[in-house]
């Protein structure tokens, strides 16, 4: 199915930031591999992307399982022969409970998806990229990855881990043609954030008041940043964690 286009893998591509970025990259004539645990969401994104005139495939995966991560990487190479871009984006927020009220099962689930899933993804994708002379990765951190925030202790710990992953991969492999950056979105109008705020309504009001622009971010705004960082327009940006939060963490 090779057609000369660049190829991007997007995890968590069935909704939210992943879906918006898939559509934005498709406008740049990038072929898309949508990875998600939701078949419904993943296939929906594929259909939307195909309407923009590029190739797209869906691969179901639980990113907390190493073998399923290796499988989506292997299948991408099988289908397209390469990986140029990787939006390492799959994640969950958790229940919003204070840390000492969180179950061990919830802690393990958040760490498994947000941190181990991201580590496994970079491990297998970077291996392919370096064989082909390099590539570009954007990891999804969070405002909770650059400051401390209450009610999301485990989530925040994993997102701080994403920042360390980003910077340290560049220290090791920047010389070999690998670019790795991270985004740190503040509260954004994604399904994950909406469901979190529905369960914790007071937190939405507090968050919006704490954002100087007095609104949540839009997935399309984040997609624009991710597309810029992934593509050749940002070739000398490496190891950065770029906040996109309406000034939210700037006031902390």
Q: Annotated catalytic sites, by residue?
A: 155
Distances (CA, A) of 15 to 10, 27, 182: 11, 17, 19
Structure tokens that stand for 117 in this block: 């899933």
Query: What is the per-residue burial (b if ≥16 Cβ within 10 Å, else e) of 188-200?
Result: bbbeebeebbeeb
Query: From CA 107, how far away is CA 244, in angstroms rounded?
Result: 26
Residue 244's beta-bridge partner residues? Answer: 185
Give the closest residue to 87 by CA, choosing from 41, 146, 30, 43: 30
Distance from chain centroid for Cα 94? 16
């Amino acid at each position: 199915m090779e057609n000369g286009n660049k190829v991007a893998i997007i995890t968590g591509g069935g909704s939210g930031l992943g879906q918006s970025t898939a559509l934005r990259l498709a406008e740049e004539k990038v072929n898309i591999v949508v990875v998600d645990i939701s078949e419904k969401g993943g296939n929906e994104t594929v259909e939307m992307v195909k309407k923009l005139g590029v190739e797209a495939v869906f691969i179901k995966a639980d990113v907390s399982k190493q073998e399923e991560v290796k499988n989506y990487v292997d299948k991408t190479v099988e289908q397209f022969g390469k990986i140029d871009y990787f939006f390492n984006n799959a994640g969950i927020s958790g229940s919003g409970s204070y840390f000492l009220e969180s179950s061990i099962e919830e802690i393990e689930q958040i760490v498994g998806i947000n941190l181990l899933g991201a580590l496994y993804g970079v491990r297998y994708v970077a291996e392919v990229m370096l064989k082909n002379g390099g590539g570009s990765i954007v990891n999804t951190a969070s405002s909770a990855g650059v400051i401390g925030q209450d009610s999301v202790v485990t989530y925040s710990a994993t997102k701080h881990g994403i920042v360390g992953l980003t910077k340290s991969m560049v220290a090791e492999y920047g010389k070999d043609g690998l670019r790795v950056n991270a985004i740190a979105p503040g509260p954004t109008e994604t399904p994950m954030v909406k469901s979190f705020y529905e369960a914790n309504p007071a937190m939405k009001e507090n968050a919006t008041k704490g954002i100087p622009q007095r609104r949540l971010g839009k997935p399309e705004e984040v997609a624009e940043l991710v597309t810029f960082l992934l593509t050749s327009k940002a070739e000398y940006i490496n190891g950065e964690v770029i906040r996109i939060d309406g000034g939210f963490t700037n006031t902390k």
